[in-house]
Structure formats: structure tokens, C-alpha cells
Amino acid sequence: MKDFLLIFREDMKKRGWDQVDFTYVIGDAYVDHPSFGPAIISRVLESEGYKVGIIAQPDWRNPESINVFGEPRLGFLISAGNMDSMVNHYSVSKKRRSRDFFTPGGVMGKRPDHATVVYGNLIRRTYKQKPVIIGGIEASLRRMAHYDYWDDCLKRSVLLDSQADIISYGMGEKSIVEIADALNSGIPADEITFVKGTVYKSKNLDHLYDYLTLPSYEEMLRDKLNYARSFYIQYCNTDAFSGKCLVEPYPDHTYIVQNPMSAPLTTEEMDRVYALPYMRTYHPCYEKDGGIDAIKEVKFSLISNRGCYGGCNFCALTFHQGRIIQARSHESILAEAELIISDPEFKGYIHDVGGPTANFRKPACQKQLKRGVCTNRQCLFPKPCPNLEIDHSDYLELLRKLRTMPGVKKVFIRSGIRFDYIMADTDDTFFREMCEHHISGQLKVAPEHISDTVLKTLGKPENSVYRTFCKKYAAINKKLGKPQYLVPYLMSSHPGSTLNEAIELAEYLRDNHLSPEQVQDFYPTPSTISTCMYYTGVDPRTMKPVFVEHNPHGKAMQRALIQYKNPKNYELVHEALEQAHRRDLIGFDKKCLIRPRNNNDSSFRKPENSRDKKSKRPSTQAEKKYGISFDKYDSIQNSIRNQEKSKGSKRKKHIK
């Protein structure tokens, strides 16, 4: 019978179970939808015959909260949820967020900070020897020593701090089944050292061969550059085909051992995962509390792929999903679309068809599935690799099938698209059809910045690529007769960005008449190259110094410059321009970002260069017409206004 998995003790009686095989403790509320990691892992285990009970958002202050199903037969699973608990709780300014979209009614505070660690220790209070396996995005990206932005320190592997036995990192469908089968066959948790996509503890290295030893935790604490070196070794070994086993030493002859990543799922394997009997919504017990907001964005969306070879330095996908694209078949996606269409709440609009990058539907080149990804070069950055296979035909065919399904009015693309990949395609068919059928007034893209200096540290293409994309986008829409716009995602304070680059971005926005409503400050989340730059001050690939803005006030100035038109940002923008010696951008000329503090007269704009006698700006006109300087003219105008204000009369329109 298709139903939700167990979350109450009474559910065991309904199914006639005396004991569950695994108790799954999660930081989110229970949502049984394939966009939620815990739903996938629990359904995969269920499909293999294992009994899973879910404890969602237990009270971490009460040890009894993890005893809902009693002692599990095989062990405990832990996931902090679909997000790192610290990102879920805090903004980049480290202020507590007001809503948790993965909690009933959006109530904040239903999970602890560093949830994986807290849940692990909660379980260990009662179950000293029971196997504990941690996974999900939080454990996956903290699997080795990592910089923690919120505590501003280098932390140990989460495996040690949580007292768990194994980390199942990455997406986990393969590794979790292998772990379950090993435990079910009677193998102790501390002997499960052979599963790809896992991290474990060991007291010796006698069982290993062909491995790389990272700098020890103590060495990294002594010198940040050792962390940069360690991180780059890890970065070069995230591939399932070419990656080696990594060893990170700790005191007392303790080693954290990372096995190579699990092999990417084949199309058939992905299809099986997404065909499992998900209920596709949150558990009905949450209805009384207002439901789960997070379901709204994904309920009528389709995941078509995994992985990303885009190589953005601020993104952790390389460490979590890997760089090899994995895609579902058209048949699998169309079958899920049928389920969406049959939903009574469906209004005819499929909100998204994509993944980390919507327009990637196959590996970058054929050799990746045989020898893995290149360790010393990227597929798209700084230029597209000559071996890159650029082809939108499969994705385009999928979109055409979806938009012609009965009951579908519109199919949108809201996942990120790589505009540089589109520009590298000599066939404009996808670009044209995307504009014609899959956009509703605006397309969101992520150039992130326009300074080539910053774009280099971001791992994004040169600004010229984005400018060319904008022109082509405008031309296609003009030909289609559609008044559609681009909405650029921009990032402030990324490593490499000084005030000069922030001002360069502000001038670009001015010249293109753009006023971003949303700006993302760089957020140093675990396991990204950009975070390593932020912590160490060097690019781990070259070990060359990189400017990093750590001062909160400096970060605020960079952010304010992107939104310089906002009156609330005036003082910060003024200070930034003064500090960067760019007073030429303070004035009344159309090239200026803000006006002077003590003169708000917009009747005339002061020239960019008052010595430019060839200019037709107001100063020259005043001199020619009245034989006086602009300053004298402005003084007379102010005097007249003051006199008229005191008399309460209308302003005179000429000078006698």
C-alpha cells in the first residue's frame, strides 16, 4: 500500500512491525518528495526491503526524543536536512533568520545549530555501541577538516565531533544500500571500510594501499596554508574514476579515511530512484501547523539531471554531486509529469525542468565516463574545453514533449542556465525556443560580477561573454516581439573584489540602467574553493595571494554600491567613493552615482570636469548667457528661492 513512512510509534502496529531496521533522524520536517534527500534515502532503503522509521526534528534537549521506535535493529541514520543547519539558521551577516521553510509554519528553532553533531551526541547518550551513519549536505561537506564561518575556526571532521561511525557522502543512494547490506550480514560498523562514497575512522593504515596523506589537523591549525594545500588535494580527488583514497591524521593515532566517491548513477539507476512511491508532499500531521513552505517551489517541478561541470568556485557541487552529469530518461520525466498533471492543485504550469544547471543533459565529454574528469582543467573555465560536447538537442526535445502534454499550459526553466554554454552552441534553436516558450517576462542568469579580476576568482567566464549573451538575448526577443528582460544575479565581497571592482560593477549597473532588488553577499559555506580563499587568503590552486574583504563594514560598502540608488545606502556609498578616491562619481552629472551631501538641486547637473569648456553642460550655458560662473549662477538661484519661500510666492522664472 502506498503510504508515508513511519513517523509515529502507532505506525509500527499498523504495519505489524516489532522493530525498525533503521531509525532516521532528520533536521527537516518529513516531506516525502524526491527533491528532499531524506525522502530519497529512506525510499531507496525501503525498496531494498529495509524497515525505516523517521524521527523528524526531535527535541535535542531530551534524550527520549530519539526513542520513538525503540532500538533499531541495524542502526541510526542522521541528516541535518536539505540545507546545512547553519545556513538554514543564519544570514551571511550571522543574523538569525526569521523563518525556516523546512519546518511546519516556518517556525524557527526546531533544529539545533550544527544539527548533525548534536543529533549524533544525543543518540550516543543512550546507544553507546549502535552504528550511527551520518549523511546529507551538512555531513557531506564537512567530512574532512573544514573552515566554519560561523565559529570562524578550522573544525575537525564532523565524523569525530558527532561520534558517528560512517559518513555516507555525496548523494548516497549506492553507499547507503552497501552499508545496510554489510550491517545486515553481521559486519561490525568499524569494519565497513570498503564502501565507495564513505568516510570512516581508523587507528592504523595497514589495510590501505595507493592513498594520499593530507596535512594533519594540527599542521593545518598551525599554518592556514597547509589547509589550502589539503583542500586542493581533496578538490583534485572528488572524481569516482580517478580519485584516490585520502587520509587525514589526527592526534592519538586517529585517522579519518575518505574512500573515493561513488560511481555516478546510470540513467536506468536514476529512473528507478525517481520512480519510487513518493507521496510527493509533506506528512499530513503538519497541516494543522501551516504545512511546509519548502514544498511550494518543487511540487510542480521536475529534476532532469545531477552534477555540474560549470566549476563555479563558490559552489560545493563538485564535492557533493560531482562534475559528471547524470540524467534521467525522457520516459521517466514524462511519467513524473503525468503525476504532476493529475494533482488537483496543478494549474497547468510546470515550474521548472532542470537541476544544478538546467541546460546540461550529458557528460562534458565521452572520456569522463571512462577515465573521469580532468584534475588540472575545467570544462568551461576560463574558456570552453576543445573536447566539450556542446549540444542542447536532447534538452530541447524533452521540453517540446512536456509543453505538448494535455493539461500543460506552460513549461518554465527556472533552474540556473549556463549562458556561456549557450553562447558556445553554434545552433540558436534552443536559445530561440527558450525565449519563445519557457520564459515569462524575464530570465534569471548569474554573471555574478562584471570585473574580469573578480570573475577569475569566481570561476566564471569573462564579462565579454555575458555582454554578448545580453545582446543576443535582446535581439532574439525583439525578433519574437516579446518584451522580455534579463535579471542578473550579482555577488558582492567575493574574494578578489576590492572597492575598485565594486565601483566598476556599480558603474556597469548605472550605464545599463539596472537596479538589482536582491544582492547576495559572498557566503563562505563549507567545501568550496572560494571559502578556502576566504579563510587562507590564497587561491589553493596556485597558492597566490587573493584579496579578501573580512571587515563587515567593508563588505557593507561593497553591497551598498550595487544598490547605490537606495537612499538607505547613501552614507555607505559616499564613504566608499571617498575611500576609493572616486569623488568624480559624486555630483549631478549623469555619470555620477550619488549627489553631494549639501546640495540636492537637480535642476542642473554639474559637469564631470568643470574645466571642459567645450561641454554643453549647464556651467557653460550659464557663462555664455549671463557672463557668470556656474557657482555664481547657482548662488543667485538659491537666493531667489529663499526670498520666494519667505514671501510665500511662486518662483520667478528669469533673472533680472
What does the alpha-carbon distance between residue 512 and residue 514 come to, in Å, rounded to a whole number? 6
Question: Across the strands, what pairs with 326?
Answer: 306
Cell numbers at 590, concatenated:
549623469
**3-state DSSP of 492-543:** ECCCCCCHHHHHHHHHHHHHCCCCCCCCEECCCCCCCHHHHHHHHCEECCCC
Taking 3-state DSSP, the helix, strand and coil percentages for the chain, each rounded to the nearest 5, stand at: 40, 15, 50
Taking alpha carbons only, the member of 616, 594, 615 closest to residue 507 is 594
Cβ within 8 Å of residue 517, ≥6 positions away = none
Taking alpha carbons only, the member of 290, 308, 422 closest to residue 355 is 308
Work out whether the CA dihedral 59, 102, 178, 276 comes out positive or negative: positive
Cβ within 8 Å of residue 37, ≥6 positions away = 79, 81, 82, 135, 136, 137, 171, 172
How do strand 198-202 and strand 254-258 relate by DSSP bridges?
antiparallel
Say what the pLDDT of residue 611 is. Answer: 43
Reply yes or no on domain 9-196 having CATH 3.40.50.2300: yes
How is domain 444-600 classified at the CATH fold level?
Answer: Transcription Regulator spoIIAA (3.30.750)
Cell numbers at 389, concatenated:
560536447
Say what the pLDDT of residue 517 is. Answer: 83
What does the alpha-carbon distance between residue 426 and residue 423 come to, in Å, rounded to a whole number? 7
What does the alpha-carbon distance between residue 103 and residue 85 come to, in Å, rounded to a whole number? 12
Query: Treating both helix axes as pointing N-terminal to C-terminal, what angle do 330-342 and 393-403 enclose, rounded to 10 degrees?
Result: 30
Taking alpha carbons only, the member of 61, 67, 60 closest to residue 19 is 67
Phi-psi region of 186 (alpha: psi -120 to 50; beta: other; left: phi over 0): left
Q: How far is CA 389 from CA 68, 322, 434, in A?
A: 51, 18, 20
Cell numbers at 442, concatenated:
524575464
What does the alpha-carbon distance between residue 209 and residue 221 come to, in Å, rounded to a whole number? 27
DSSP 278-333: ---EE-GGGGGGT--GGGTTTTTEEE-EE------TT--HHHHT-SS-EE--HHHH
Say what the pLDDT of residue 116 is. Answer: 98
What does the alpha-carbon distance between residue 75 and residue 189 come to, in Å, rounded to a whole number? 9
Cell numbers at 109, concatenated:
528553532
3-state secondary structure of 318: helix
Cβ within 8 Å of residue 34, ≥6 positions away = 40, 273, 274, 276, 278, 303
What does the alpha-carbon distance between residue 40 and residue 409 come to, in Å, rounded to a whole number? 29
For the chain, what is the total number of helices (H) and then of strands (E)?
Answer: 24, 24
What does the alpha-carbon distance between residue 60 and residue 85 come to, in Å, rounded to a whole number? 14
Say what the pLDDT of residue 633 is. Answer: 46
What does the alpha-carbon distance between residue 20 and residue 54 come to, in Å, rounded to a whole number? 10
Query: Treating both helix axes as pointing N-terminal to C-terminal, what angle do 429-437 and 463-480 enclose, rounded to 10 degrees?
Result: 60
Phi-psi region of 644 (alpha: psi -120 to 50; beta: other; left: phi over 0): alpha
Select from 3.40.50.300, 3.40.50.720, 3.30.750.210, 3.30.470.20 the CATH code of 300-440: 3.30.750.210
How do strand 75-79 and strand 22-26 relate by DSSP bridges?
parallel
Asked if 458 contacts 530 with a C-beta cutoff of 8 angstroms, the reply is yes
Q: Exposed e or buried b for every residue in 346-383, given b needs 16+ CB within 10 A?
A: beeebbbbbbbbbbbbbbbbeebbeebbbeeebbbbee
Asked if 145 contacts 12 with a C-beta cutoff of 8 angstroms, the reply is no
What does the alpha-carbon distance between residue 510 and residue 585 come to, in Å, rounded to a whole number? 11
Those residues of the chain that have pLDDT short of 70 are 1, 599-656
Query: Treating both helix axes as pointing N-terminal to C-terminal, what angle do 499-511 and 552-562 enclose, rounded to 10 degrees?
Result: 10
Torsion on CA atoms 71, 190, 5, 272, rounded to nearest 10:
-160
What does the alpha-carbon distance between residue 168 and residue 261 come to, in Å, rounded to a whole number? 10
Q: How many angstroms from the chain centroid is the CA of residue 182?
A: 34
What does the alpha-carbon distance between residue 559 and residue 644 come to, in Å, rounded to a whole number? 41
Q: Report pLDDT digits (tens) over 189-217.
A: 999 999 999 999 999 999 999 999 999 99
| CA atoms lying within 13 Å on the CB side of residue 403 | 19
3-state secondary structure of 115: helix
Question: Across the strands, what pairs with 303?
Answer: 354
Radius of gyration, alpha carbons of the chain: 29
How do strand 254-258 and strand 245-250 relate by DSSP bridges?
antiparallel
3-state secondary structure of 442: strand
Say what the pLDDT of residue 597 is. Answer: 85
What does the alpha-carbon distance between residue 404 and residue 415 come to, in Å, rounded to a whole number? 21
Residues counted in the chain: 656
What does the alpha-carbon distance between residue 15 and residue 57 come to, in Å, rounded to a whole number? 23
